[in-house]
Structure 1
């Protein structure tokens, strides 16, 4: 199945004519120590090719709480249950590890699981499909906001070097 995604990013939104779904508030990058071989990318004739070390899941799991604390302590958020999560770059082991470390149930990452199951790991465009899946599910369940009814969330991405990208995303009413 083919998946297409697009996003409009703007500044100084005119709320009389435009409707926000999510907003990018801040982004942080954390390089995980001793993980340079965690994700390695190469440019080949056929395109980009990535290799994941067996230690990627463990390294991410052992550092994810520190990444969250660094990102959300500045915003006064200490309750991980008050956030929605959009997670890309990885497979089932990474999603399970994040659920365990964040103390969350599988439904917390329901949109991430759904997109992974339907399309596989599509690298960067995964997050746009996960955001759309979350928005659709929020509408179907008559939630108050696009982020599964929660007002703020966290978008995680995992990059070569082993870097954890954390983006704070407020969600808006449907």
Structure 2
């Protein structure tokens, strides 16, 4: 069980499932992410500030599941993405920028307006750390993207920091527009949306991709993905 990982729980659980599957021959790991953010919803309070009100407008409930394994048995199993390389980063002196706490009105979230710029400032180094073990060089616009859409503003800042073309983060933007931020479950929705888009566009649009999750701490989970074409 992974608790109190916030928005980074989906990426962290997939990383853990990858380790379990690769170190237990024949294992198939079921990852189930369930987030009930309705427990955060409440009326306004005189102690509120802008940071505490963000969660009231942004979050939504969601659940998603993924089966993770190694050495797929063809043709019975058809893997969608291969999880190739993983890195984690904790940005120093940021734990006060994203946190949850129990208060007089139930569970409250403090989400700093500094997070979008913080994510953008650190995203490229996290990507380089994830790709370094592979010994390959890629252009950011040659990848497919599954970024946790903490908010539209975070996606806008990442777009600008990496010089991404407008369509690169469409899967993330679609999910946050239709469902909101579902914390850890959101990245599974984004992966599914990216899969759907690949089926519509046809196989081979982008072979290499990256999944990015953000969580309390402030933490960044980065995973290099490879499209299997299935």
Give the TM-score category using the shorter length. 0.7 to 0.9
Q: Scaled by the length of structure 1, what TM-score is found?
A: 0.87
SS in 1 for 2:121: helix
Q: Within the alignment, does 1:102 sit opposite 2:158 as a pair?
A: no
The Cα of 1:42 is off from its aligned counterpart by 3.0
Q: Quick one: distance in 2 between partners of 1:29 and 1:2?
A: 26
Q: Within the alignment, does 1:36 sit opposite 2:62 as a pair?
A: no
The Cα of 1:171 is off from its aligned counterpart by 1.0
Q: Scaled by the length of structure 2, what TM-score is found?
A: 0.67
Q: Quick one: distance in 2 between partners of 1:132 and 1:38?
A: 29
Asked whether the 8 Å contact 1:21–1:173 carries over to 2, the reply is yes
Q: Which runs of 5+ in 1 are unaligned?
A: none
Question: Which of 1 and 2 has greater Rg?
Answer: 2
Aligned residues: 170
Q: Within the alignment, does 1:85 sit opposite 2:145 as a pair?
A: yes
Q: Which runs of 5+ in 2 are unaligned?
A: 1-59
Q: Within the alignment, does 1:155 sit opposite 2:214 as a pair?
A: no
When residues 21 and 57 of structure 1 are mapped into structure 2, their CA distance, relative to the original with a 3 A threshold, is same
CA-atom RMSD, angstroms?
A: 2.2
Matched ranges for 1:9-28 at <5 A: 9-28=68-87
Q: Quick one: distance in 2 between partners of 1:153 and 1:47?
A: 39
When residues 61 and 19 of structure 1 are mapped into structure 2, their CA distance, relative to the original with a 3 A threshold, is same
